[in-house]
């Protein structure tokens, strides 16, 4: 259900919501017997107070379009006559039995899922529809797959399987819950090049960074525990923490990353279970946490015995400066749980990431994973293992950085005219995003609409500010996925949409 709220309109917001739903009912777009979203869910989707939604639904009841059922919600009854059994009537409590002999699945789903912010998923999914030029995703370029090398490795693996002398050569067999032993050894060697000294027993293979955060949250967080994070924050990471029951407290960032000198009072007051940080080329801002801030955060971690969850998937995509050591590499107190994903530097469909942590964490994490999965994809693990062992992955990263740097420079150059409209941005030193700040004179909702009509999509900034602070001033643009011709055409259309969106 797509409801648009115009805060500048003279029509009260509850009537805007009522009018749009009523029109959809009259047109048959919402069928008779369907249940409308819960009051809380629609309030989240429209960004209004729940009482506003209640007033809109009461208007629809007065119109004879819906009836309310206690514990079930609001059901469309436009084509029905009379008061069906179970409906609320004036001065009478509603029955638990709905009008029809149907299951209200919405009432069975946990509120934490119904209330979950899904705008990011919806925008991401729609951004690749109908030939759109998408600046929305954080996906590796198709050119980063280097198909000739991939096909050669696949051919070698298949040939070895066909000529196998023992089960270790079977690329189709299950792998251990912790992940393929050879891959964990190869990752251990890869991490040594990043200054991180961990053994294969301290590494857990997962499919992606989001899955790693999900499993770690289930393992470490109990309902009501506090987690400190940076803001802006990836909506995926925020939702994983919230669904685990965490009380998430955000700390602002600046050009040096999370502002660490404001964290100690929060630690003293809230006794957090852990601190989550996306340390290098942060999503969405592209900021790299400075060395001084990293040392300060580690000092707080050691002083108060608060573990750090470091998400470091973009650290290899660096263009201009020498890389800053990861928190994991700097850690002398065994305090950092490290997450690394290959999503931006390898074929996204070959979904692989890993967690590096103290052995006791990995042991229990592996046991937890065994309760959810039989095995991770064996073939993908063997392909990545070959890439790492042969040194192809490291060489490809150098080529990827050259390509992404060219795309970054192209997009930044094309965005320069936007500065005349008050748009500001900083050329990132790595990663795959440009974080643009819009002037107060530009309407973000109108920009989304105008750009969408022109076939250009991006991610609006409010997605990354879960508590509603200043997100309407920003947009995130991805340059890794689109080709150069798409970047040229897409930015030209985006600039036109910006001009049309000025107040």
Question: Nearest CA to 207 among 316, 340, 309?
Answer: 340
Question: Nearest CA to 457 among 435, 483, 490?
Answer: 490
| pLDDT tens digit sequence for 289-319 | 999 999 999 999 999 999 999 999 899 999 9
How many Å apart are CA 102 and CA 104, to the nearest integer? 6
288 pLDDT above the threshold of 70: yes
Q: How many other C-beta atoms lie within 10 A of the C-beta of residue 260?
A: 22
How many Å apart are CA 250 and CA 270, to the nearest integer? 12
* Residues 458-480, mean pLDDT to the nearest whole number: 88
* Residues 70-77, mean pLDDT to the nearest whole number: 83
pLDDT at 252: 92
pLDDT at 82: 45
pLDDT at 350: 77
| pLDDT classification of 223: cutoffs 50, 70, 90 | very high
How many Å apart are CA 87 and CA 69, to the nearest integer? 5
Listed in sequence order, the residues at least 6 apart from 6 whose beta carbon sits closer than 8 Å to its beta carbon are 16
DSSP secondary structure letters along 81-128: -S--TT--BTTBPPPSS-SSS---HHHHS-HHHHTS--HHHHHHHHTT
pLDDT at 145: 62
pLDDT at 176: 80
pTM reported for the whole predicted model: 0.76
435 pLDDT above the threshold of 70: yes
125 pLDDT above the threshold of 60: no
Which H or E run contains 237?
A: helix 235-243
- CA angle 204–307–470, rounded 5-degree value: 105
| pLDDT tens digit sequence for 177-211 | 899 999 999 999 999 999 999 999 999 999 999 99
> In terms of pLDDT, which residue wins out, 359 or 165?
359
Q: At what angle do helices 392-415 and 147-162 cross, to 10 degrees?
A: 150
Percentage of the chain modeled with pLDDT above 70: 86
pLDDT at 66: 87
Could you tell me where the DSSP H helices lie in 373-478? 378-389, 392-415, 444-453
Cβ burial, residue 127 (10 Å; 0-12/13-18/19+): buried
Is the backbone peptide bond immediately before 232 cis, with ω within 30 degrees of 0? yes
Q: How many other C-beta atoms lie within 10 A of the C-beta of residue 98?
A: 24
How many Å apart are CA 259 and CA 34, to the nearest integer? 48
How many Å apart are CA 389 and CA 456, to the nearest integer? 40
How many Å apart are CA 81 and CA 258, to the nearest integer? 59
How many Å apart are CA 40 and CA 73, to the nearest integer? 11
Q: Distances from the Cα of 469 to the Cαs of 88, 155, 158, 330, 362, in angstroms?
A: 39, 52, 53, 32, 36
């Amino acid at each position: 259900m797509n409801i648009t709220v115009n805060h500048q309109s003279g029509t009260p917001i509850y009537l805007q919501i009522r009018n749009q739903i009523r029109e959809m009912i009259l047109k048959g777009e919402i069928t008779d017997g369907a249940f409308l979203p819960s009051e809380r869910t629609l309030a989240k989707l429209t960004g209004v107070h729940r009482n506003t939604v209640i007033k809109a639904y009461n208007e629809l009841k007065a119109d004879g379009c819906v009836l309310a059922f206690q514990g079930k919600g609001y059901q469309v009854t436009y084509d029905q006559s009379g008061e069906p059994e179970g409906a609320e009537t004036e001065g009478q409590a509603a029955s638990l039995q709905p009008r029809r002999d149907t299951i209200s699945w919405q009432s069975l789903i946990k509120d934490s899922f119904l209330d979950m912010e899904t705008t990011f998923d919806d925008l991401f999914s729609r951004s690749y529809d109908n030939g759109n030029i998408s600046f929305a995703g954080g996906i590796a370029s198709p050119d980063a797959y280097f198909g000739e090398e991939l096909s050669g490795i696949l051919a070698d693996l298949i040939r070895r399987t066909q000529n196998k002398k023992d089960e270790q050569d079977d690329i189709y067999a299950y792998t251990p819950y912790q992940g393929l032993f050879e891959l964990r050894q190869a990752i251990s060697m890869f991490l040594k090049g990043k200054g991180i000294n961990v053994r294969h027993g301290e590494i857990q293979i997962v499919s992606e960074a989001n899955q790693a955060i999900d499993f770690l949250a289930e393992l470490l967080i109990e309902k009501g525990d506090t987690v400190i994070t940076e803001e802006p924050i990836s909506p995926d990471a925020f939702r994983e923490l919230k669904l685990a029951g965490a009380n998430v407290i955000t700390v602002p960032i600046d050009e040096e990353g999370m502002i660490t000198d404001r964290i100690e009072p929060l630690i003293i007051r809230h006794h957090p279970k852990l601190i989550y940080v996306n340390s290098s080329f942060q999503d969405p801002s592209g900021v790299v946490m400075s060395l001084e801030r990293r040392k300060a955060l580690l000092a707080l971690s050691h002083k108060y015995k608060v573990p750090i969850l470091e998400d470091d998937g973009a650290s290899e995509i660096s263009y201009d400066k020498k890389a800053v050591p990861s928190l994991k590499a700097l850690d002398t107190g065994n305090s950092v749980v490290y997450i690394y994903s290959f999503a931006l530097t390898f074929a996204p469909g070959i979904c692989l990431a890993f967690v590096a942590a103290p052995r006791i964490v990995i042991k229990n994490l592996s046991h937890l994973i065994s309760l959810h999965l039989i095995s991770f994809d064996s073939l993908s693990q063997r392909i990545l293992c070959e890439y790492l062992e042969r040194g192809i992955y490291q060489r490809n990263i150098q080529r990827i950085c050259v390509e992404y740097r060219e795309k970054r420079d192209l997009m930044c150059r094309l965005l320069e005219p936007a500065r005349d409209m008050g748009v500001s941005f900083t050329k990132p030193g790595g990663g795959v995003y440009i974080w643009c700040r819009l002037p107060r004179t530009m309407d973000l909702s109108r920009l989304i609409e105008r750009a969408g009509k022109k076939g250009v999509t991006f991610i609006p900034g409010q997605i990354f500010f879960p508590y509603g602070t200043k997100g309407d001033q920003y947009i995130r643009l991805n340059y890794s996925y689109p080709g150069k011709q798409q970047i040229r055409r897409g930015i030209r259309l985006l600039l036109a949409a910006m001009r049309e969106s000025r107040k």
